[in-house]
Amino acid sequence: MKNTAVDVKPVSVSGPNGRRNFLKMSGLALAGTGLLIAGCSDDDDSISNEQQRPGIRNGVFDLGGGDLGILTYAYALEQLEANFYTQVVNNTNFRSTFTTQEQEILVDLYNHEVIHREFFRTAITGALQQAGGGTLLPDLTFNYGSLNFSNKADVLANAMALEDTGVRAYNGAGRYLENLTYLGLAGKIVSVEARHAAAIRDLISPGSASFAGDNIVDPATGLDKADNPSVVIRDVKALNIIQTNFTAQYLR
Instruction: Give the tens place of pLDDT for each residue, 81-132.
Output: 999 999 999 999 999 999 999 999 999 999 999 999 999 999 999 999 988 8
Task: For residue 238, report the phi and psi dihedrals to the nearest 5 degrees.
Answer: -65, -25
Nearest to 105 by CA among 190, 186, 206, 7: 206
Query: Residue 11: which of 142, 146, 102, 117 has the closest Cα?
Result: 102
Phi/psi for 57 (5° steps) reads -135, 120
Domain residue extents for the chain = 17-39+48-247
Query: pLDDT in tens for each of the 252 residues of the chain?
Result: 656 555 555 565 554 455 555 455 444 444 444 444 444 444 444 444 667 899 999 999 999 999 999 999 999 999 999 999 999 999 999 999 999 999 999 999 999 999 999 999 999 999 999 888 899 999 999 999 999 999 999 999 999 999 999 999 999 999 999 999 999 999 999 999 999 999 999 999 988 777 776 777 778 888 888 999 999 999 999 999 999 999 999 999
Distance between CA atoms of 227 and 225, rounded to whole angstroms? 7
Strands across the sheet with 55-57, in order? Answer: 55-57, 60-62, 246-247
| Fold for the domain defined by 17-39+48-247 | Ferritin (1.20.1260)
How far apart (Å, rounded) are the C-alpha atoms in residues 77 and 21? 25
pTM listed for this prediction:
0.85
- Exposed, middle or buried by CB within 10 Å (0-12, 13-18, 19+), for 139? middle
